[in-house]
Structure 1
Amino acid sequence: MSLIIAYIGKKGCVMAADKRKIGYFGDKKNLRTLEEELYNGAIDNDEDFLNRASELGISIKITDDASKLKVVGNCIRGEVSTKGTFETRRRRIYGTTNGYQIIELLGSETESRKAGEKGIIIFGNNYAKQLAENLIKREWKSSQSLRYMGEVFEDILSEVSSKTPTVGDKFDVLMQQPDFSKSSAQKHLNITIDHDIKVLTKFRQELTEKLVQQSVAIDMANKIIEKGEVGRVVEIDGNMLQVQLNDNTQAMDGNWKQLKGPGENVLMLTESDNVKIGDKVVIQDEDLCLKKDKSSLICDVILCSL
């Protein structure tokens, strides 16, 4: 659901891209039907797209705020991506003066990598690419400046967007003109791309760790005890009580790290002067208290079931 047009040559690099992103929710068979109609040009505007999706029972979310271009070092990076069930597939082009490389990534693993010195590269679905290629043949003048080329690309994106909802009507255009020879361009691209992929790998690792932590938090939150017995008083020192947790109770801190397990003692505070060894501690109506008289207790841990 993207269209990226890049020029790479001795003058430098210019890229233009739309900002459209489309999310689908619905029956896979009907989704395939909708995509086939989109990609063969049978649907040519947003209104018809939304109506056809509704007929097929597919929910659509369209946004035009995705940034598909980025300056990385002295290069421009353009990226289109497809999210699968378990991994995101990315296709990237890195361009600079006198050189470019096209990278295929699955997650953060490189599946293919090829290099070139100059040319016009187009990323997008076949229908949008064909429209763009025909317009480039009609409009292109290689003797013009990079700024002129960027304006031409933007005009092409605008015309393509009027003929297919796979391309949005908001665009980004970036230019880079460092002084690189053909050999130095590839050396710079290699260094830049290797570092950029390392950054992606680190980001994915951090994201995975965050998702694991969120999953743990959700799991533990579901185990917070809201009702029932949690332990019994085994030691009394003024208003401080040592409560031994029962066989199905554990005490966690705010980061869901276990502080005390079953059979271990947890410090609790009370204002009652009627506490006896062996008194049962319960949670009733989400309040921590003594079972015998509902005297309130306070502790600084989260009581959860195993």
Structure 2
Amino acid sequence: MSLIIAYIGKKGCVMAADKRKIGYFGDKENLDTLEKELYEGVIDNDEDFLNRAAELGISIKITDDASKLKVVGNCIRGEVSTKGTFETRRRRIYGTTNGYQIVELIGSDTKSRKAGSKGIIIFGNKYAKELAENLISREWKSSQSLRYMGDVFEAILTEVASKTPTVGNKFDVLIQQPSFSDTSAQRHLNMTIDQDIKVLTKFRQELAEKLLQQSREIEMADKIIDNGNVGKVVSIDGNMIQVQLNDKTQAVDDNWKQLAGPGENVLMFTESEDIKVGDKVVIKDENLCLKKDKSSLRCDIILCSL
């Protein structure tokens, strides 16, 4: 659901892209029907798109704030991506003066990488690409400045957006024009792309670790005891008491690291003067207290079930 147009030549590189992102949810067969109609140009505006999606029982979320272009080193990177069940597929073009490379990734693994020196490259669905190609053949003047080319690309994106909801009506245009020969351009592209993919790999690793930690936190949060027995008093020293946890309770810290397991003692504090060894400790409606008279207790730990 994107359209990216790139020019790469001896003057430099200019790229233009829309900012549309579309999320789908619904029956796969109906989704296929909707996408087929979109890519064949049967649906030509947002209102008809939303109405057709509703007819097919498909939930749609349209946003026009996705940044598909980025300056990386002395290059411009354009990216279109598709999220699958398990992995994200990315198609990228990196462009600079006198050189470009097209890279296809699954996750952060490179599946293909092709290089060129000059040309106009278009990323998008078949229908949007055909519209853009026809407009470029009519409007293009290679002798003009990169700024002029950017203006032409933006005008083309505007016209394509008026004919298909797969392209939004908000755009980014970026220009880079460092001094590179064909050879030095590819050398620079190789270094830039290798580093950029390393950054993506690190990001994905950090994201996976974060998701794992979040999953762990959700799992542990579900185990926090808000009602039930937790143990019994085994010693008393003024307002400090030692409580032995029962066989179904553990104590953890704020990072969910276990501090005490079943049968082990934890420190608690009380203001009650009527407390005896053997008194049962419970959590009642999320309040830690003595079972016999609901006297409040305090502790610096989190009590969870196993």
Give the match's secondary structure for 2:303. strand
1:260 aligned partner, one-letter code: A
Distance in 2 between residues matched to 1:88 and 1:82, nearest whole Å: 6
Report what 1:274 is aligned to: 274
**Residues 79-94 of structure 1: matches in 2 within 5 Å?**
79-94=79-94
The alignment's C-alpha RMSD in Å is 0.7
Report what 2:289 is aligned to: 289
2:260 aligned partner, one-letter code: K
Identity of aligned residues (%): 83
Give the match's secondary structure for 1:230. strand
Give the match's secondary structure for 1:90. strand
Shift of 1:189: 0.4
Report what 1:169 is aligned to: 169
Give the match's secondary structure for 2:128. helix
2:216 aligned partner, one-letter code: V
> Alpha-carbon deviations, 1:133-180, whole Å to 9, x = none?
111111111111111111111111000000000000011000000000
Report what 2:8 is aligned to: 8
Distance in 2 between residues matched to 1:22 and 1:92, nearest whole Å: 19
Deviates more, 1:72-81 or 1:203-212: 203-212
Shift of 1:256: 1.3
Give the match's secondary structure for 1:242. strand
Match status 1:260 vs 2:264: no
Deviates more, 1:120-129 or 1:268-277: 268-277
> Alpha-carbon deviations, 1:84-137, whole Å to 9, x = none?
011110000000000000000111111110100000000000000011011111
Give the match's secondary structure for 2:169. coil
Report what 1:237 is aligned to: 237
Shift of 1:261: 1.0
* Number of residues of Structure 1 aligned to a counterpart in Structure 2: 306
Give the match's secondary structure for 1:178. coil
Q: Once superposed, which parts of structure 1, at least 4 consecutive aligned residues long, lie more than 2 Å away?
A: none
2:32 aligned partner, one-letter code: R
Distance in 1 between residues matched to 2:264 and 2:121, nearest whole Å: 66
2:201 aligned partner, one-letter code: T
Give the match's secondary structure for 1:153. helix
> Alpha-carbon deviations, 1:211-238, whole Å to 9, x = none?
1111111111111101111011111111
**Residues 64-213 of structure 1: matches in 2 within 5 Å?**
64-213=64-213
Distance in 1 between residues matched to 2:258 and 2:100, nearest whole Å: 52
TM-score normalised by length of structure 1: 0.99
Distance in 1 between residues matched to 2:234 and 2:105, nearest whole Å: 60
Shift of 1:255: 1.5
Which structure 1 residue ranges, 5 or more long, are not aligned?
none
Distance in 1 between residues matched to 2:256 and 2:33, nearest whole Å: 46
1:76 aligned partner, one-letter code: I
TM-score normalised by length of structure 2: 0.99
Distance in 2 between residues matched to 1:286 and 1:186, nearest whole Å: 63
1:218 aligned partner, one-letter code: I
